[in-house]
């Protein structure tokens, strides 16, 4: 009954060869350690926000997802992306907690200290093809993040037929989910729940979004695009 193979959320998220499960109980998800310290993203995201966000909010989604997995005897051997793609056939707790776990695991990796600029590469070509310019892309994405009413996420996603789309989802939904209005593979995600920015920016979501561009790790996002489009996920 116990499956220990390849269920690390980390391995699935970063779309590299899946790593063996390396901690916690079998048939359970785990948070990937942050690749940087809580203070690394300052001054854009302050240390305390990062600490509470990672060790309380995101940890809570992971723990509650695991609780739902146990209580409902859910087989997670096909991974979180499979589960989210079929989320309508799972209990609603899986949509909320599983989405929360996946979205945050992706979010941490989309950022790094000082950010990394988008290099001349296939993703950049594609962004310019679909949005005209990097500046316009940032504007459209920022508008999606700003206009998301209440809590949710803004996304850059690639569809199965290779289109780039910017959209937002409510709560902890994401474009992988069969219940989502917009569907595709998320490349870049921005958390616009108030817990992501309120200590530093209070009600100024627009300012948080503007500053956030300075810590986006485009190397990670570009790798993710390459992995998806070359079928390595
Ligand atoms: Mn959050």
User: What pLDDT sits at residue 26?
Assistant: 67
Residue whose C-alpha is closest to residue 87's, from 18, 187, 171, 2:
171
Mean per-residue pLDDT, 209-217: 98
CATH no., domain 47-109:
1.10.287.990
**Would you say 79 and 101 are in contact if contact means Cβ atoms under 8 Å apart?**
no
Distance 2 CA to ligand 1 centre (A): 31
Q: What is the pLDDT of residues 111-147, one digit of tens each?
A: 999 999 999 999 999 999 999 999 999 999 999 999 9
* Residue ranges covered by each domain of the chain: 47-109, 122-229
Distance 129 CA to ligand 1 centre (A): 31
Whether the predicted pLDDT of 9 surpasses 70:
no
Output the six-digit token pair for 16.
Answer: 């590299």
> How large a percentage of the chain has pLDDT more than 90?
87
**Each residue of 89-102: b (16+ CB within 10 Å) or e?**
ebeeebbbbbbbbb
Residue keyed to tokens 């958390």: 191
Whether the predicted pLDDT of 13 surpasses 80:
no
3-class secondary structure, 39: coil
Distance 128 CA to ligand 1 centre (A): 29
Of residues 233 and 58, more confidence is placed in 58
Distance 196 CA to ligand 1 centre (A): 5
Distance 134 CA to ligand 1 centre (A): 26
Mean per-residue pLDDT, 68-95: 96
| Superfamily of segment(s) 122-229 | Iron/manganese superoxide dismutase, C-terminal domain (3.55.40.20)
Distance 177 CA to ligand 1 centre (A): 18
DSSP character for 117?
Answer: P
Distance 58 CA to ligand 1 centre (A): 7
Reported as a pLDDT band with limits 50, 70 and 90, residue 75 is very high
**Would you say 4 and 214 are in contact if contact means Cβ atoms under 8 Å apart?**
no
Whether the predicted pLDDT of 171 surpasses 70:
yes
Whether the predicted pLDDT of 108 surpasses 50:
yes
């Amino acid at each position: 009954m116990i499956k220990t193979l390849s269920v690390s959320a980390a391995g699935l998220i970063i779309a590299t060869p899946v790593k063996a499960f390396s901690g916690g109980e079998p048939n359970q998800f785990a948070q990937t350690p942050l690749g940087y310290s809580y203070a690394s993203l300052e001054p854009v995201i302050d240390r305390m926000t990062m600490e509470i966000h990672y060790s309380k909010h995101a940890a809570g989604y992971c723990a509650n997802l695991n609780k739902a997995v146990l209580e409902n005897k859910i087989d997670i051997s096909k991974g979180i992306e499979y589960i989210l793609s079929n989320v309508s056939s799972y209990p609603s707790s899986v949509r909320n907690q599983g989405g929360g776990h996946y979205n945050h695991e992706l979010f941490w990796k989309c950022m790094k200290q000082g950010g990394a600029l988008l290099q001349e590469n296939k993703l950049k070509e594609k962004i310019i093809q679909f949005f005209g310019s990097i500046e316009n892309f940032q504007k459209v994405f920022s508008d999606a993040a700003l206009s998301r009413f209440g809590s949710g996420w803004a996304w850059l996603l690639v569809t199965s037929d290779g289109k780039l789309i910017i959209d937002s989802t409510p709560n902890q939904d994401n474009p992988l989910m069969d219940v989502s209005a917009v569907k595709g593979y998320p490349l870049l995600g921005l958390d616009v729940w108030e817990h992501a920015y309120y200590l530093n920016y209070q009600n100024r979501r627009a300012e948080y979004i503007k500053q956030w561009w300075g810590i986006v790790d485009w190397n990670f996002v570009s790798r993710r695009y390459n992995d998806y489009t070359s079928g390595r996920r």
